[in-house]
Structure 1
Amino acid sequence: MLRRKRLTLYLLSCIFIFLLFYPNSTSANQLSEIKKSGVLKVGVKQDVPNFGYYNAETNQYEGMEIDIAKKIAKSLGVKPVFVPTTAQTREPLMDNGQIDILIATYTITPERKANYNISKAYYHDEIGFLVRKNSHIKTIKELDGKHIGVAQGATTKGNLEKYAKEHKLKFSYAQLGSFPELAISLYANRIDAFSVDKSILSGYLSPHTTILKEGFNTQEYGIATSKQDKVLIPYVNKLLVSWEKDGSLKHIYQKFKLKPAKVKKE
C-alpha cells in the first residue's frame, strides 16, 4: 500500500513538472514555428483610417499599424496575414490562438498587462471629442449633460466616467460596435459627440465636424500577445527601440500625418 502511494506521488510530481515547463518549451519555439509557417498572423483594425484600415478599392490594408506589422514580418523573413479585429474580438482572438500578435490601437493598462504580454508603447495619444460644427460646442465643459458615443469593449467609457466625476460633469452614453457606426450616429444627430483617441477621430473628420482642442488621459498603444508567448514581445521591443533610434517610427508617423501626443510628466 505504501509503495503504491509513493508511486502515485512520483507520477503526480512528474506530471506537475511536465505541465510547469511544457508551455515554456512551446513558447520558446514560437518564433521558429512562425518562420517555418512562413506567415505572421496579425490582428489589426479595419475601420481606423491612418492606423488599420481596409481599402475596398485596392483590396489592401493600410495605415501606421499595418506598416509596423509588415516591418516585424520582414524582420522574421515571413509574410504578414492580416486578421480583422474589433474591440470586442481582439482579446478572444489572442486567447484561442487565431492570431500570433495584436497591433490594433490596443491601449496599455494594468489590467491588460495582467492578462496579456504587451510591448513598450509605439504611439502616444489622448482622448478627444468629435462634434458637429453647427453644435457650437467648443469645450469639454459644454458637453455637460450631453449624449456621448463610445466604442464597445474600449477603455474610453471608463476614462470618461472618471473624468466626469473629477470635473463634476454628467454624460450619458451610446455604446456602438464600430467607429463608422459612431461617426454615422454623430452625423445623424443621435449623439452629441463621438469620443475616442484623437488620432482615430482625425480619420473621421468631415467638412461638418471638428475635434475639440481639449483632450485628456494620454493613451499608450502597445503590441500584444497571449501570456503563453515568452519570446515575441521581447523580440518586438528590441525592434521598437531600434526603430526609434534610426527614425523608422517617426517616418511612419509622418507618412500618415500623425502627431503623437506629448507625454505629460507627473
Structure 2
Amino acid sequence: MKLRKVFLALGLGICVMMAGCSSASTSSSATGSNTVEAKEIQAIKDRGVLKVGVKVDVPKYGYKNPQTGQIEGFEIDLSKAVAKKILGDESKVEFQGVTAKTRGPLLDNGEIDMVAATFTITDERKKSYNFSDPYMKDGIGLLVKKSLGASSLKDLDGKTIGVAQSATTKKALEEEASKQGITLKFSELGGYPEIKAALDSGRVDCFAVDAAILNGYVDDSTVILNDRYNPQEYGIASKKDNTELAKVINEVVSEMKTSGEIDKLIKKWEIK
C-alpha cells in the first residue's frame, strides 16, 4: 500500500512538471511572437524618425510651400499624429515626396514606413498593402477650360484626358465612357502640375483626378464640372507584413475620427 502511494505521488509530480513546462513553452512562444511584431515599431524607435511618403503637389493635402520650403497639409498633420503616437514627438517624421507611380515601390523596398498620399483604398491594393480605416472619401472630378464650353463627360467625347500615371482614374473613366457610349483618349503624365500645364497649353482637354485635389488647381480660366465618378476612400498604407505598425496607424486614425480631430483638420485646410 505504501509503495502504491509512492508511485501515485511520483506520477502526480511528473504531470505537474509537464504541465508547468507546457505552460512555460506556450508563454515563451507567445512572447516570442509579440517580440517579432514589436520589432516593426522598435525599428522606427531605434531610428528615431518615422519615414512617410506624401504628396508635395496637392494643395491642402500634401504640398511643398514655395515660400517656406516646408511640406504642409491635411495628410502631413495626420502623419505627424502617427509619429507622436510612436515616438512621442510629432516633429520626428521625415517626409519623402511621392507620386501615384512611385508610392507603392518606395513602400515595397522599405524606403518609407507608410504612405499618406491621397491613396485610395481598393480591393486590388489591399492584396499588397495594409490600409487604415478611411479618413476621407472623394470622387473623380473633371477640370476643363471654360472656353471649351463643356458641362459633362459626354461633352468630352473624342477629347484627351490628362491623368496621373498608375492612378485608378483612367480605368474608372474608361468604364464610365463605355456606359455613356463615348470615346476618350488619355495622356498619362507624371504629376499634377504637369497635367495642369498640359491643360493650360492645350495638350489635353481635361485634367481628371479626385475633385478635392482639383480644388487646388482651379483658376480663373478653368472650371470643375459637376460630374463625380467612382467615389473612393483614402487610407494610410503600410507594408502587408508590418501588422503591428498597421495596428498603431489605425488606432491613430480611429481616435482622431472619434475625437473630431479629423473634422478640425478638414476645416483647418479648407477641404471641400
Q: Which residue of 2 aligns with 1:95?
A: 108
Letter in 2 for 1:254: K
TM-score, normalising length: structure 1:
0.86
CA distance in 1, matches of 2:241, 2:254: 23
Equivalences for 1:92-241 in 2 at 5 Å? 92-241=105-254
Query: 2:113 is aligned with what amino acid?
Result: D
Distance 1:133 1:188 in 2: 14
1:252 aligned to 2:265?
yes
Deviations 1:132-183 (A, max 9, x none): 0111111121111111110111110011111111221210011111100100
- Structure 2 length as normaliser, TM-score? 0.84
Structure 1: which 5+ residue stretches go unaligned?
1-21, 260-266
SS in 1 for 2:233: strand
Contact 2:52 2:116 in 1 (8 A): yes
Is residue 73 of structure 1 aligned with residue 83 of structure 2?
yes
1:23 to 1:155, Cα distance in 2 relative to 1, 3 A: farther
Alignment counterpart, residue 69 of structure 2, candidates 59, 69, 87: 59
Larger-gyration structure (1/2) = 2
Q: Distance in 1 between matches of 2:146 and 2:39?
A: 54
Aligned equivalents of 1:32 and 1:67: distance in 2? 23
Correspondence 1:41-60 to 2 at 5 A: 41-60=51-70
Q: Distance in 2 between matches of 1:74 and 1:59?
A: 22
Q: When the two structures are aligned, how many residues end up with a matched partner?
A: 238
Range 237-246 or range 186-195, more displaced: 237-246
Identity rate of aligned residues, in percent? 45
- Code of the residue aligned with 1:222 in structure 2: it is G
SS at match of 2:161: strand
Instruction: Give the letter for the 2:222 counterpart.
Output: T
Q: C-alpha root-mean-square deviation of aligned residues, in Å?
A: 1.5
Is contact 1:28-1:230 (8 Å) kept?
Answer: no
Map of 2:16 onto structure 1: none
Task: Give 1 or 2: higher helix fraction.
Answer: 2
Q: Is the 8 A contact 1:148 1:171 kept in 2?
A: yes
